[in-house]
Structure 1
Amino acid sequence: MKIHFPLFILLFLISFFSKGQGEKQYYSALASKIDSIVQGSNFNGVVLLTVGNEAVFHKAKGYSNFEDSVLMEKDDQFVIGSISKQITAVMVLREYEKGKLNLNDEIGKYLPSIDQSWSKRVTIHHLLTHTHGIVDVNQPLEFEQGSQFNYSQLGYELLARILENITGNSFEELSTQLFLESGLSNTVHPENKQYKSLVKGYEESENGILEYATNSLVNHVAAGAFISNAEDLSRWNYLLYSGRLVGKESLELMKTRYATRIHPIFGQIEYGYGLLFNLGEENIQIGALGYAPGFASACYYYPETDLSIIVLENAPKHLDDIKKTFKIHTQLMEVVKEESLPTQNHAK
């Protein structure tokens, strides 16, 4: 018995399977490029490339513990440095969406213990964008609020205190609740102590020997000391940019250029709420790098292709030349960016 398909159905099936094969080849080629860079380097850590929620490339290389020669695992946890800032920004915006705060509110409204006149001029927006001028809560401003950009860990710590005063809960409790609600089971506030897979971070000594860094968690948590793994950070990107963590309006606020930063790696770069991007490229490549003693990380998203690249390293080298420290991270980002530019002719 012969089965006759109408011509349009036959053409659809051919097109469907051709497209699927083309996408498979595209992702395979991209994964091969990434693998070549990772394998040809002295990188020690985890790299994950995803499209949506699906892994395209996932590799662990090197050791999580050099003293005991413990091999790195794909689900190992790292201190993520300044990638933490976008998490704090999301927590602030979620309270904004509930009507608990206004981004243009003066911080003195929520932090009455600060006995400085500038507390009635500096706003939550200034804290989010590093344009506040605060160097110490007991000192005058370094510059007039809103007039300059000066990267600040303290500003994000003050945001954490504001969140605590608004909600009556500790920053550790608030972040833990967010992670539980979002299915980020490997992302934790360090005081939560639930980080059984946290790798040891190492730094090079003056004579080039890797030594265990005991101060990896010294940063303010809200600014640079959350702990996570590659899979959770990829899921974070998926949830954030699909509007599942904050609404569309809030996401656009995060992606809006508020200040220009002269970055030690990127040079001139635009700054939103915890997110960095080149001018006009917030819908091409957006995210953040992170550094903490013994850890160097990258978490970037590519809206054109729905790709995420996560790079987590626990033995950063060449700390006297930060561009070399993040060389693998930026090389991998550039490969993904090239494949994500609208002008590229993909099978996808």
Structure 2
Amino acid sequence: MKISLIILTFILLTSCQTNGQGKMDNYRKLTSKIDSIIGEHKFNGVVSLSTDSIEIYSKSFGFSDLENKTKVVINDQFVIGSISKQITAVLILREYEKGEIGLNDTIGNYLTEINQPWAKLVTIHQLLTHTHGIVDLDKPLEFKQGSQFHYSQLGYDLIAQILKKVTGKTFKDLSTELFNQYGLKNTFHPNNKGYINLVKGYEESEDGVLEYTEHSLKNYAAAGSFISNVQDLNKWNQLLYSEKLVKKETLELMKTKYSTRIHPIFDTIDYGYGLLFKDGEQNIQIGALGYAPGFVSACYYYPQTKLNLVILENTANNLDDFKKTFIVQTEIMELIKKRTPNNVYKK
């Protein structure tokens, strides 16, 4: 009996060691392929690939300040563009969970100062999903609310305004409370000047020269101007997809397909609440790309393999063709997605 138990224990230990070694070998092959992708393209920034417990790939490339040749370090801070939208979505959904708002409530329930007929028609859900039709607060809707998709930064700013009315707190203070509560020490509303390691953003001119841009933080914060780093965005993914920021059923709302867009990078992409995914791939590859003047980013989670991918770049090249601008992000994303088990990966 004792001999059998010893043999069984030995077999289990050997199997675990073999599986663990196999996984690490696969990770090494993966990091080599990521290096190859980066080596083939212009890239200036940081790349991080991790699980909740293992740092698989973590490297920085190039400069945070091109003029002074200051090297980028892995935990430098970047403007994260539209990755900001999922933060805003979480903030409004936390109020929904408290019963403070309804997703089918109209704007007019909260923003009584908007003197437009559509204020009594457009819902919070439509703001979250870019299906509201608002192009200007002083103009009629572009289309009937809920009938079409039109990507909108203004819609997310209106969500921030609703949050202020509901909570009595500024959007800056409300988001800062969230970051502090969950230990996201490197994530900031742009009006919170606590950040000290924000890199400079550069855009390629028509002459092919990278030039510093002063407009990186000009967008609505709720839509595209939060500041963060790879450490915090990895942690954000872990918190969000483990249902620590919102409940399981609320996370499912975020991951539900509500609208479809012809996208300049992905061709066709589906939208939930602040999250993007290909049709049927909510449990394969889910997250967001981000663009702000001078900053190109990606933050994705791979539920089948529990991988977090964060790519933050502070040079924007080929702005006449966003597929080329985001080439490193999308090639690495495709590489990671292909590691998803064959029974769930749709080619």
Helix, strand or coil for the counterpart of 1:190? Answer: coil
Contact 2:284/2:344, CA 8 A, preserved across alignment: no
Q: Counterpart of 1:280?
A: 280
- Letter aligned with residue 314 of structure 1: N
- Counterpart of 2:197 in structure 1: which amino acid? S
SS class of match (2:191): helix
How far residue 15 of structure 1 moved from its aligned partner, in angstroms, is 1.0
Alignment match, 2:58 = 58
Cα distance between partner residues in 2 of 1:311 and 1:340: 19
Q: Give 1:259's aligned residue.
A: 259
The answer on whether the counterparts of 1:304 and 1:342 sit within 8 Å (CA) in structure 2 is no
- Deviation digits for residues 15-43 of structure 1, max 9, x if unmatched? 11111111111212111211221233220
Partner of 1:163: 163
**Match in the other structure for 1:125:** 125
1:1-348 equivalences in 2 (<5 Å): 6-343=6-343
Report the CA distance between 1:5 and its aligned residue. 5.9
The residue matched to 1:311 in structure 2 has which SS? strand
Deviations 1:81-126 (A, max 9, x none): 0000000000010000111101010110010000011111100000
Runs of 4+ in 1 over 3 A off after TM superposition: 341-345
Q: Does 195-204 or 34-43 show the bigger shift?
A: 34-43
CA-CA distance at 1:343 after TM superposition: 3.7
Deviations 1:226-260 (A, max 9, x none): 00001111111111011011000110000000001
Q: Secondary structure at the match of 1:9?
A: helix
Distance 2:342 2:55 in 1: 22
User: Which structure 2 residue ranges, 5 or more long, are not aligned?
Assistant: none
Is the Cα–Cα contact under 8 Å of residues 104 and 125 in structure 1 kept in the other structure? yes
Deviation at 1:170, TM superposition (A): 0.3
SS in structure 2 of the partner of residue 25 of structure 1:
helix
Unaligned ranges ≥5, structure 1: none
Q: Secondary structure at the match of 1:156?
A: helix
Paired AA for residue 316 in structure 1: A
Number of aligned positions between the proteins: 343
The letter for the 1-side match of 2:8 is F
2:64–2:72 Cα contact (<8 Å) kept: yes
- Percent identity (aligned): 59
Which letter maps to 1:326?
A: F
Normalised by the size of structure 2, how large is the TM-score? 0.97
1:53 positional shift: 4.2
- Please give the alpha-carbon distance, in whole angstroms, between the structure 1 residues aligned to 2:129 and 2:240: 19
Q: Within 1, Cα distance between the matches of 2:323 and 2:138?
A: 35
1:6 alignment partner, SS class: helix
Deviation at 1:308, TM superposition (A): 1.1
